[in-house]
Amino acid sequence: MPWQPRDLMTTKREFVQLALQEGANRRELCRRFGISPKAGYALLKRFAAEAEAAFTERSRRPLHSPRQTAEALQSAALELRRQHPAWGARKICRRLQDLGHEQVPAPSTVTDLLRRHGLIAPADNETQGEWQRFEHELPNGLWQMDFKGYFETAAGRCSPLTLLDDHSRFALATTACSKTDAATVQVLLQRVFERYGLPARINSDNGAPWGSPSAPGHLSSLDVWLIRLGVRSSHSSPYHPQTNGKIERFHRSLKVEVLRGRTFDSLAQAQEAMQRWREIYNHHRPHEALAMQTPVQHYRMSARPMPTTLAPIEYAERDHVLTVGWNGFVKFRGHKLRLSSALHRLPVALRPDDLHDGCFDLYFCHQRFMRLDMNALTASN
């Protein structure tokens, strides 16, 4: 058994002094001190050879460690951590493998190495918690889009606009913007669509420029443009940012790995820093949710190219087609209905619900955006 008391040196000295007394029962003494006879006799032997030095703790470090991580590999791991302070041991191990290093140690060994060199603070693990992953099965099934909170540069305010593929976590854009209006977003999306093609759906937040949380179903000008392109536009529920959870997590990484503790002289300088990091994020940074692979290894460009012209709007024969007037109003069966001013001069369709008499689903192109119950309207009048 090991020596247990807190004041180990005093306890060992007392044991030796008692054991060396004439007529001492050393085995009984070992029992009373809670140690094995082997440990007791070993201490007595050491005292005979070393005197007072026998009471001090010996280092348990082996004289030779054949499995010790090579110095060059340790240096490479430490350098990766210094270059990317937010990367954990699993990312560093995978990146070392990708760079061609052999006999890369386990993540636990790298964690110990980082801790010994003061590169891990206790607070680094405080944000880790249980989570559940949801993702689309294929690339371009869903993109998530949002503005990260603004920060100030010497030349003015910067609001990073980010776009992320849900399946692969591939960052399609990280753009430093001075404005957060629909025109700014549309120009960015135009460039992204021309390079990567069209997704099936884009999910964004509520409020300007994305949608209208105070009037659900009232399409924004950005919604109308996306729908005309054949892209389904959806919005997170009010006060539920977790609907866009992947891009929220992406923003946290962007803040920690690029923005925290830095200042920028201009939007161009901020854009350069974010673009450099986007390259690292997509092509070099291992992602735990992707089995430590990189986003670019999972992403594929969309097979749907950006059209040069918008397709004509067509509806089924059974639909009631109405053209939206000023301020988003239409008239139907004696009722004046408010839709969205973004639909001005555009046709919408009221599609009857065969299972509920007097109920209609409102469509703009392929997207259902509102439901109308004529029975409720008649009763309120």
> Quick check: is 63 in a domain?
no
Q: Are residues 92 and 33 in the same domain?
A: no
Question: For residue range 334-345, what is the model confidence (pLDDT) as tens digits?
Answer: 899 999 899 999
Q: Which domain holds residue 92?
A: 71-120
- Does 358 lie in the same domain as 249? no
Phi, psi of 292 (to 5 degrees): 65, 20
pLDDT of residue 77: 83
Q: Are residues 112 and 191 in the same domain?
A: no
Q: What is the pLDDT of residues 90-141, one digit of tens each?
A: 888 888 888 888 888 888 888 888 777 776 654 444 334 443 445 567 899 9
Quick check: 12 pLDDT over 50?
Answer: yes
**For position 210, what pLDDT does the model report?**
81
**CA–CA gap between residue 15 and residue 31 (Å, rounded):** 11
Q: What percent of the chain has pLDDT over 70?
A: 85
Return the minimum-mean-pLDDT range out of 181-185, 190-194, 244-248: 244-248
Phi, psi of 103 (to 5 degrees): 55, 45
Could you tell me if 239 and 178 lie in one domain? yes
Confidence of residue 52 (pLDDT cuts 50, 70, 90): confident
The answer as to whether 138 is a domain residue is: no
By CB neighbour count within 10 A (0-12 exposed, 13-18 middle, 19+ buried), where does 183 fall?
Answer: exposed
Q: CA-CA distance, 358 to 356, in Å (whole number)?
A: 6
Whether 148 and 274 map to the same domain: the answer is yes
pLDDT digits (tens, 9 = 90+) for 280-311: 999 998 888 888 899 999 999 999 999 999 99
Residues 215 and 347 in one domain: no
* pLDDT value of position 131: 36
Whose CA is closest to 43, among 7, 5, 14?
14
Q: Are residues 243 and 336 in the same domain?
A: no
Q: Are 105 and 192 members of one domain?
A: no
- For residue 60, being part of any structural domain is answered with no
pLDDT of residue 126: 39
* Same domain (yes/no): 167, 279: yes
The stretch 154-163 carries a mean pLDDT of 95
Residue 321: per-residue pLDDT = 96
pLDDT at 189 over 50: yes
Beta-sheet strand order (sheet of 320-323): 320-323, 347-352, 359-364, 367-373
At 254 the three-state DSSP class reads: helix
Overall average pLDDT of the 194-210 stretch: 89
pLDDT in tens, 343-367: 999 999 999 988 889 999 999 999 9
Q: Which residue has the tokens 């529920």?
A: 237
Domain assignment present for 314 = no
Count of structural domains, the chain:
4
Give whole-number Cα distances, 220 to 177, 233, 310, 369, in Å: 20, 10, 18, 11
Domain-embedded: residue 127: no
- Asked if the structure places residue 26 within a domain, the reply is yes
Residue 42: is its pLDDT beyond 70? yes
Residue 136 domain flag? no
Question: Residue 213 class from Cβ within 10 Å (0-12 exposed, 13-18 middle, 19+ buried)?
Answer: middle
**Distance, CA of 228 to CA of 311 (rounded, Å):** 7
Can you give the CATH number for the domain in which 203 is found? 3.30.420.10
- pLDDT tens-digit readout, 220-267: 999 999 999 999 999 886 555 556 788 999 999 999 999 998 999 999
| Nearest CA-CA partner of 364 in 257, 232, 250, 276 | 232
Q: For residues 286 and 90, is the Cβ–Cβ distance under 8 A?
A: yes
Half-sphere CA count of 256, side-chain side, radius 13 A: 15
Vertex 46 angle, CA 44 and 48, to 5°: 70
Residues 153 and 280 in one domain: yes
* Cα dihedral across residues 346, 352, 356, 358: positive or negative: positive
Tell me: pLDDT of 148 over 70. Answer: yes
- pLDDT tens digits, residue range 94-107? 888 888 888 888 88
- pLDDT for the residue 85: 76
pLDDT > 70? residue 3: no
In a domain, 256, yes or no: yes
- Would you place residue 375 in the very low, low, confident or very high pLDDT band (cuts 50, 70, 90)? confident
Read off the pLDDT of residues 324-336 as tens digits, 9 standing for 90 and up. 999 899 999 889 9
Do 290 and 251 share a domain, yes or no? Answer: yes
What is the domain-level CATH number for residue 78?
1.10.10
At 255 the pLDDT is 93
Q: Mean pLDDT score of the chain, rounded to an integer?
A: 84
Torsions phi, psi of 159, nearest 5?
A: -120, 105
Judgement on whether residues 153 and 108 belong to the same structural domain of the protein = no
Give kind and range of the element (H or E) at residue 30.
helix 26-33
Q: How high is the pLDDT of residue 240?
A: 53
Looking at residue 354, its pLDDT comes to 85
